[in-house]
Chains A and B, each alone.
Chain A
Amino acid sequence: MRRLLIGLTFAVFIVLLIIPLGRIFIGAFEDGAGGFLKGLMRPEALHALMMTGLVVLVVTLLNTLFGIMMALYLVRAGWLSERIKGLLNSIVDLPYAVSPVIGGLMIVLMLGPNSIMGAFFEGIGFNVVYAFPGMVIATLFVTFPLMVREVMPVLQELGSQQEEAASTLGAYGWRTFWSVTWPSIRWAVVYGLVLTVARSLGEFGAVLVVSGNIMNKTQTATTLVYQDVENFNVAAANGVALVLVTFSVGLLLMMEWAKKRKEVH
């Protein structure tokens, strides 16, 4: 029984994860290293990778900052009643339940050229949809719960005794946060950060809808892979896909590392 189950587990992993992963590597180098570089060095591929990098950077910064604050408020805030906190707490999870395409649609409906706000922004010469800001907003929406959900349980487990002690000893808000709260939550923050980077790197549906997928303008790495496949240019897609896979595997290793550190504390 034991042997059978272990064998089956290995079989599932090999068929479902390892072979597909290996296939991408082989696919990218099918025409040799030259073919791989040619696919990757296309101007639209470089531009797409740069766009992805920019989106990841902005989204991670904003959501880390606001995510930590939101988690702090949801666990600690005495100025919010328990009922409101409970309500907000359940709303945090909603983006998990929303299909990325619907997430994108929401932003098009709210800020698209036909909406009131969209028309206003267009009037002052600031395009949101089919431009960089819209892509950032879409990714922010999709990745918002990740940081909050990592930090909240740690704060809850920690309790507020130490922080209260610090305030009693005369430390003010910032001081308490940096010398008491931060050291205990930092590995949870690192873990949430890695998750946010991974999710925003791979975000596809929401960005596809909001960006309009315009080559050399709003195309990201994932939407370029999509376009290449749709154009039956699978060989070219492989190069960009391999870059994404490499990043994902790297992030996965970091996740493992952060998880171990988190458990120590």
Chain B
Amino acid sequence: MNTVLRHKGWTWGFRSTVLLYFIVLIVLPIIGVYVNSFSEGWSNFVQSIMDPIAWKAVLLTIRLAVIATLINVVLGTMIAWVLTRYRFVGRSFLNSLVDLPFALPTAVGGLMIMLLLGPVSAIGKLAESMGFEIVFHQPAIVIAMTFVTFPFVIRAVQPLLEEIDPSEEEASYTMGASKARTFMQVILPSMAPGMISGGMLAFSRGLAEFGAVVLVAGNIPGRTLTASVFIYGEIESDNPTGAAAVSVLLLTLSFLILWLINLVQMRGRRR
């Protein structure tokens, strides 16, 4: 067995199989979408994107994802701080619970929001009587995005907080800086790369989110129709080229963010 496996042909066979698997599975489909969106010419592509329903969906998605990201940066930084700096009962339990939104199917996440805030639930009824609608409206989309992207900022900030050298903080206190000043000038700058890269990850995930959003959004064009739900609708109504055009827009944006995250992380490492 061993002598057979030592043959050079096996080695090359393995190498090309793995690389081929990678290229066929990851690279080809991505190129395929770009090629397909331009398959009926440039003007057709522009037309697909200039469709008011399409660009409104993209803009709405970006706006709501920004709100969800801001919520997560604030909450996430606070939670990361509490979980690394303070010792209290239930800390390790909360710490393991952070990853729950990653482990949970997004459709189940959507169902949860539906059950808790839907029109038949107590909170939903209360909000409705106050003239404030949640499910099938924009707040539900923000909640869904916030839920799904909850772990990103926490998990990006935590390791940075653990790494801070306590002597830096002590030095700051010794030199007479107040607590607030130490936080602003010593601790916050060390957390910033995590807040930025975690926030950008959360943003790109929020842009892409489909499962949780499709269940709780009303999917009304221009008001509660997000980009990924729009793409799904185009596929269902048998317009793959239109779907591909909007996909290209969303993909390019996501790739740009991914590239920025890499840049931020690289700068963080160099320091």
A: residues with CB less than 8 A from B are: 2, 5-6, 8-10, 12-13, 16-21, 23-24, 27, 66, 69-70, 73, 77, 79, 88, 90-110, 112, 114, 137, 140-141, 144, 172-175, 195, 198, 201-205, 208-209, 221-223, 225-226, 229, 234, 237-238, 241, 244-245, 248-249, 251-253, 255-256
For the complex, give the distance between the alpha carbons of A205 and B107 in Å.
Answer: 9
Instruction: Assess whether A24 is in contact with B115, with CB atoms less than 8 Å apart.
Output: yes
Instruction: Assess whether A20 is in contact with B240, with CB atoms less than 8 Å apart.
Output: no
Instruction: Assess whether B29 is in contact with A106, with CB atoms less than 8 Å apart.
Output: yes
> CB-nearest residue of chain A relative to B256?
A97
Known A99-B228, A223-B107; further 12 A-B contacts with Cβ < 8 A: A5-B78, A5-B81, A5-B82, A99-B247, A99-B254, A106-B32, A107-B29, A141-B26, A141-B29, A222-B108, A238-B111, A241-B107
Instruction: Assess whether A248 is in contact with B100, with CB atoms less than 8 Å apart.
Output: yes
Q: Does B15 contact A (CB under 8 A)?
A: yes
For the complex, give the distance between the alpha carbons of A58 and B56 in Å.
Answer: 39
Chain B contact residues: over half helix, strand or loop, or mixed?
helix
For the complex, give the distance between the alpha carbons of A66 and B20 in Å.
Answer: 11
For the complex, give the distance between the alpha carbons of A69 and B91 in Å.
Answer: 37
Q: Does B6 contact A (CB under 8 A)?
A: yes
Q: Does B99 contact A (CB under 8 A)?
A: yes
Q: List 15 A-B contacts (CB under 8 A).
A: A18-B97, A21-B100, A66-B18, A101-B229, A102-B231, A109-B29, A109-B32, A110-B29, A141-B25, A172-B2, A173-B5, A205-B232, A226-B215, A229-B215, A248-B103
For the complex, give the distance between the alpha carbons of A229 and B88 in Å.
Answer: 40
Instruction: Assess whether B231 is in contact with A101, with CB atoms less than 8 Å apart.
Output: yes
For the complex, give the distance between the alpha carbons of A104 and B112 in Å.
Answer: 25
Instruction: Assess whether B94 is in contact with A9, with CB atoms less than 8 Å apart.
Output: yes
Q: Does B262 contact A (CB under 8 A)?
A: yes
Sorted from nearest, which 10 A-B pairs have the closest CB atoms? A202-B105, A99-B208, A106-B29, A97-B254, A20-B112, A205-B210, A204-B211, A248-B103, A9-B82, A222-B107
B104-151 residues with Cβ-Cβ distance < 8 A to A are: 104-116, 118, 146-147, 150
Tally of A-B Cβ pairs under 8 angstroms:
230
Q: Does B44 contact A (CB under 8 A)?
A: no
Residue in contact with A97 in the complex, picked from B103, B108, B214, B257, CB distance below 8 Å = B257
Q: Does B207 contact A (CB under 8 A)?
A: yes
Residues of A within 8 A of B28 (CB): 110
For the complex, give the distance between the alpha carbons of A229 and B214 in Å.
Answer: 11
Q: Does B27 contact A (CB under 8 A)?
A: yes
B225-253 residues with Cβ-Cβ distance < 8 A to A are: 227-229, 231-232, 235, 240, 243-244, 247, 250-251
Looking at A9, A96, A221, A234, which has the most chain B CB atoms within 10 Å of its CB? A9
Q: Does B67 contact A (CB under 8 A)?
A: no
Q: Does B187 contact A (CB under 8 A)?
A: no
Total residues of chain B contacting the partner, CB 8 A:
78
Instruction: Assess whether A9 is in contact with B83, with CB atoms less than 8 Å apart.
Output: yes
Looking at A2, A21, A101, which has the most chain B CB atoms within 10 Å of its CB? A101
For the complex, give the distance between the alpha carbons of A204 and B208 in Å.
Answer: 12
Known: A144-B25, A226-B214, A226-B215. A252 touches B103 (CB 8 A): yes
Instruction: Assess whether A6 is in contact with B30, with CB atoms less than 8 Å apart.
Output: no
Min CB distance, A92 to chain B, in Å?
7
Q: Does B172 contact A (CB under 8 A)?
A: no
> CB-nearest residue of chain B relative to A212?
B236
Instruction: Assess whether A105 is in contact with B147, with CB atoms less than 8 Å apart.
Output: no
Instruction: Assess whether A94 is in contact with B26, with CB atoms less than 8 Å apart.
Output: yes
Instruction: Assess whether B79 is in contact with A202, with CB atoms less than 8 Å apart.
Output: no
Known: A6-B86, A97-B255, A100-B208. A12 touches B26 (CB 8 A): no
Residues of A within 8 A of B118 (CB): 234
Q: Does B102 contact A (CB under 8 A)?
A: yes
Q: Does B96 contact A (CB under 8 A)?
A: yes
Min CB distance, A220 to chain B, in Å?
10
Instruction: Assess whether B257 is in contact with A204, with CB atoms less than 8 Å apart.
Output: no
Instruction: Assess whether A9 is in contact with B78, with CB atoms less than 8 Å apart.
Output: yes
Residues of A within 8 A of B86 (CB): 2, 5-6
Min CB distance, B37 to chain A, in Å?
9
Min CB distance, A194 to chain B, in Å?
9
Instruction: Assess whether B27 is in contact with A91, with CB atoms less than 8 Å apart.
Output: yes
Residues of A within 8 A of B19 (CB): 73
